[in-house]
Chains A and B, each alone.
Chain A
Amino acid sequence: MKTELECRLTPEEEELVAKREELARLEAQLADQELVLASLKAELAAFEGLYLRRVGVLYAELDEWNALLAELRAEQAGTPEAKAEASEARAHAEEAYSAAHGEAAEVQPFSPTADLRKLYRDAAKRVHPDTATDETDRARRERLMKQVNAAYVAGDEDALRRILADLDTSPDTVQGSGVGADLIRVLRQLKQVRDRRTAIERELVALRGSEIALLQQDVEHARHENRDLLAEIAATVRGKIGVAKREHETRATGVKQRGR
């Protein structure tokens, strides 16, 4: 009599298999979403850099002239209100200068290659903190995910490959045993992944509705009409600088004449 060796799975094991399949599917989707989110952030950061270099610096210059004007008015009027206004205008000008000339203004255009995107997706899938099995694991994954994000935004494919290679040989990748414990871990991972996906969706919606994204859309929209909107804004701000300069000169001359 021919007998076949049957290895039946227990209901727990069957559920574990099904949940692991679901987790794998969701992890792949999560990696895609992380890629979209990281790309959008990098793109907006690059646009912000461009904006600050072309327009932000001009607003900072305008604020500087407005601060000088306010200080001149305070000098002429000598009232506490005028002095408070001048102090506020000076603080505002300093903030604008820091923002326009800070690190954000140095971010360069972002255009990831297909390879970079694939590497990021693979790495994000492997190290995602929301697939952590415990707090120690989460901390390690968060650290790795930061490295992955930094490598992606810097366009550093080699760095991403190194991270992936290290992961392959890392003892940390070994999973624990025991069906019950595994099932609990997988269920927890599933919840974390679902939560993270929801959070990413929310963040994408908010990012796409942010001022910088809307400004970028305006610029793109204008580009299709062969217009350089950033140049137009810059011209407008330059005009305002001209008005502020003239007013400052007029007031300064007045002060000198009265002083004679």
Chain B
Amino acid sequence: MADKTELLRLPKSDSTSLILSEAGASLIARGRREASSLLLRKKEPLCLATAKLNGKWGYIDQIGNFIVEPRFDEAFPFSSGFAAVRCGEKWTFVDKTGQRAFGTDFDGCAPFSEGLAGVKVGTKWGFIDEGGKQVVRPLFDQVKGFSGGVSGVEILAADRRKWGFIDTTGNFIADAQFDQINEFSEGLCGIELADRWGFIDRSGRFAVRPTLTYSFGYFSEGLADATDESCSGYIDRNGDFLITMECEDSDIFRGGLARVKINGRWGFIDKTGKIVIAPRFEETARFNRGIAGAMLDEKWGYIDATGKYVIDPQFDEVDSLNGFRYGLTSVKLGEKWGFIDRAGRFVIAPRFDYSEFDLINGFRCGLIAVRIEGKWGYLDSTGSQFISPQFEDALAFTETDAPSISDDWI
């Protein structure tokens, strides 16, 4: 490095290279790239992913650095700022620095939701708060997790499993009497009682009495599919049929449209029950940001809300779970999966087997886990290698402070 006095001499030219040596400039450029990346990413919520190295799981940031060193036998994604991890037979929660969140070990842990997490003590589940304090005694055989202050809980009695609902103090708001329950959707929860489906609200009262012979059991856009002894169609939150129709199968509404199967073919209805896309497809996916996967002659393409193909049918499979995220969706061409944009162009060429990328979660926090030459890394939505393949296994990134994403496939 040159003498500083010399560096500060008056230049004869307008060159500025006299401040740094080449190596110093390189060190600064590296720091600047890191800084830009940190500033950019910090604007977004902190996202961490679980990754496995040398047989143990830890948590990596979006640069690929282990924020929590790999030392767990099992590690669940972060939600609400905590993650459940297993060492040997025991489970506990860690915070975003990897520190044990509470002093207690458990026999099982479920994600935090609304400040409470299900924990298994012995063979029974109860709930703790974010301070690790037990708020609901471990009395249940299974728990769902709180939504709107209510959680489904299962009790095994006389060889019969029944679901009920408790509040955050552990008091039952609806007795354990249901054979099946779903998650809450739009404030109501689908339940099955004596072979009939209905919906309860968060006070435990029946919003729709269990008289339906079948329902998918989820409200979406104010309607739920329903079939009773006399008709099929869609009910409102009071259980009144707003749409009645003859069809073989139906699905929830997305973007004002719902899939219906008539005479062996799929089409779409609007919320008045009018068929807006004639049932001519062998299979369809739900609408996602204005387009939906639709299959003709055993090839998938994408249609718009008028039913017109905007991406010609050419793919052997499509991702009907995640649809387009970060402008991309995965499709299978021949034997391999790749990613196309909304114009149907391959951004990431079809080169992955089913088990070589995270088909279940797709892109999360802008990245997707992929396996390349036996090691897992991550690609960004331009198809660039964002975190080089280096892990034995790797799962999706999740926002550490967001609620659990386990049920967002609905």
Binding site for B on A (CB under 8 A): 34, 38, 41-42, 44-45, 48, 51-52, 55-56, 59-60, 95-96, 98-100, 102-104, 107, 129, 142, 145-146, 149-150, 152-153, 196, 199, 202-203, 206-207, 210-212, 214-215, 218-219, 221-222, 227, 229, 232-233, 236-237, 239-240, 242-243, 246, 250
Contacts and interface: CB of A to CB of B under 8 A. Distances in A.
A240 B61 CA distance: 11
Contact of B38 (A51, A149, A236): A236
Contacts of B35: 215, 218-219, 222, 229, 232-233
B245 interface: no
B26 A95 contact: yes
Interface of B: 1, 3-11, 13-14, 16, 19-32, 34-36, 38-39, 42, 53-54, 61, 63-67, 69, 390
Contacts of A203: 11, 14, 16
Contacts of A55: 27, 31
18 contacts: A59-B30, A95-B22, A95-B23, A96-B23, A99-B1, A99-B24, A99-B26, A99-B27, A103-B4, A149-B8, A199-B13, A203-B14, A211-B25, A211-B28, A212-B20, A212-B28, A233-B38, A239-B61
B10 A129 contact: yes
B167 to A, nearest CB: 39
B140 to A, nearest CB: 40
Given A99-B21, A233-B34, A233-B38, A42 B53 contact: no
B195 to A, nearest CB: 56
Contacts of A211: 25, 28-29, 32
A145 B39 contact: no
Given A206-B16, A232-B42, 14 more contacts: A48-B28, A51-B31, A55-B31, A56-B24, A59-B31, A103-B3, A150-B5, A153-B5, A215-B35, A218-B39, A219-B35, A227-B42, A233-B31, A242-B65
Given A99-B21, A203-B16, A146 B5 contact: yes
Contact of A96 (B26, B32, B67): B26
Contact of A44 (B13, B19, B38, B39): B19
Q: Which of A98, A206, A212 has the most CB of B within 10 A?
A: A212
Contacts of B3: 103
Contacts of A104: 1, 4, 20-21, 24
A167 to B, nearest CB: 17
A94 B1 CA distance: 13
A39 B8 CA distance: 10
Q: Which of B11, B26, B35, B42 has the most CB of A within 10 A?
A: B35
A52 to B, nearest CB: 7
A250 B53 CA distance: 11
Nearest to A34: B10
A38 B4 CA distance: 12
Contacts of B16: 203, 206-207, 210
Contacts of B36: 218
A237 B22 CA distance: 20
A215 B66 CA distance: 25
Q: Which of B31, B34, B63, B69 has the most CB of A within 10 A?
A: B31
Contacts of A60: 27
B32 A243 contact: no
B170 to A, nearest CB: 40
Contacts of A221: 39
B1 A102 contact: yes
